[in-house]
Chains A and B, each alone.
Chain A
Amino acid sequence: MINLNVINKDVNINNLRIFGVGGSSVVLIGDTEVIACSSIFDTPPESLIIGPLQPLAAESGGR
């Protein structure tokens, strides 16, 4: 059993300046219970294709 006691003191921020929030990340001004960010990024060697330019398969559905 983990016992975690959190005491939140007074929070007073003047300026918050962020250039970018990207790739499943969170900026939260408030309270929460769970934050579970996940990101899968795939750049394997076989993703580099050298050959005549070919289109990818068309989108499924819709068009």
Chain B
Amino acid sequence: MRNVRTSVVGNIKVINTIFSSILQIGDNVSVTPVSNSLAVQRQVSSYRGNEGNLDEFPIFKRPIPEGALTERLNMNIHNETSEIHVGNIYIFGLSIASVLQIGSNKMTAPENRTKHIRQLIPGGGGAGSVTPPAPVPPVAPTPVTPPAAASDGVRIEEEKP
């Protein structure tokens, strides 16, 4: 590796690392955390536990455009000191495909894809309603006729016995 500096850190305190996040102490070549998530909010909190087929949503497959570097780049780096000093680091949370690294690397390329879906009950306030509707009796997740499938919307499968 090129001339890299040594990182010197006194204390680190991190409370949470979740959803494909990485806390690394030391050098490496590349860090590429990936997180694919479906964020589903329902008016009635009823979930089966095995829902969510990512293959059904194009957002999880489409290529991510890269910034094109059209010119040649000649970069010269001069380090006046051989160390980077940090006394204390406090981070409450590292989340979706994020990285905290104490040390050097060649490349960091985190990738996050999140698809939001909100499911409301008809007559229960409607789309424009800000306030939640009156209490709704809990609805068991029994499949009914699927709504007209939108291009990238939710496709609901009939329940298999």
What residues of chain A have their CB less than 8 Å away from a CB belonging to chain B?
Answer: 1-44, 46-60, 63
Find A34's partner among B89, B107, B114 (CB 8 Å cutoff): B107
Report the minimal beta-carbon distance from A43 to chain B, rounded to whole angstroms: 4
Contact B111 A20 (CB under 8 A): no
Taking the closest CB of chain B, its distance from the CB of A35, in whole angstroms, is 5
Q: Please measure, in the bound complex, the distance between the C-alpha atom of A58 and the C-alpha atom of B35, giving whole angstroms.
A: 19
Question: Is B115 a contact of A30 with CB atoms below 8 Å?
Answer: no
15 example contacts (A-B, Cβ-Cβ < 8 A) are as follows: A5-B75, A17-B89, A23-B98, A27-B99, A28-B108, A29-B103, A30-B5, A47-B116, A49-B117, A51-B144, A52-B122, A53-B119, A53-B141, A54-B144, A57-B157
Q: How far is the CB of A4 from chain B (nearest CB, A)?
A: 4
Chain B residues with CB under 8 Å of chain A are 2, 4-5, 7, 9, 21, 27, 33, 35, 38, 40, 42-44, 46-48, 50-57, 59, 62, 64, 66-67, 71-81, 84-122, 126-127, 139, 141-144, 146-147, 150-157, 159
Tell me the bound Cα distance from A33 to B71 in angstroms. 17
Q: From known contacts A23-B95, A23-B97, A30-B84, infer whether A59 and B77 are also in contact, taking CB-CB under 8 Å.
A: no
Are A58 and B51 within 8 A (Cβ)? Answer: yes
Instruction: Please state if A24 and B91 are interface contacts (CB–CB under 8 Å).
Output: no
Q: How far is the CB of B10 from chain A (nearest CB, A)?
A: 9
**Contacting residues, chain B, for A29 (C-beta < 8 A):** 7, 9, 84, 86, 89, 101-103
A49 pairs with B107, CB closer than 8 A = no
- Would you give the shortest CB distance from B19 to chain A, in whole angstroms? 8
Count contacts between A and B, CB distance < 8 Å.
Answer: 276
Ranked 3 nearest A-B pairs via Cβ: A46-B150, A24-B110, A22-B95
Chain B residues whose C-beta falls within 8 Å of the C-beta of A49 in the assembled complex? 117-120, 147, 153-154
Assembled-state Cα–Cα distance A7/B112 (Å): 33
A residues less than 8 Å from B46 (CB atoms): 53
Q: How far is the CA of A20 from the CA of B90 in the complex (A)?
A: 10
A57-B51 in contact (CB<8A): yes
Residue in chain A with minimal CB distance to B22: A26
B72 CB to closest chain A CB (Å) equals: 5
- Asked if B127 contacts A50 (CB within 8 A), the reply is yes
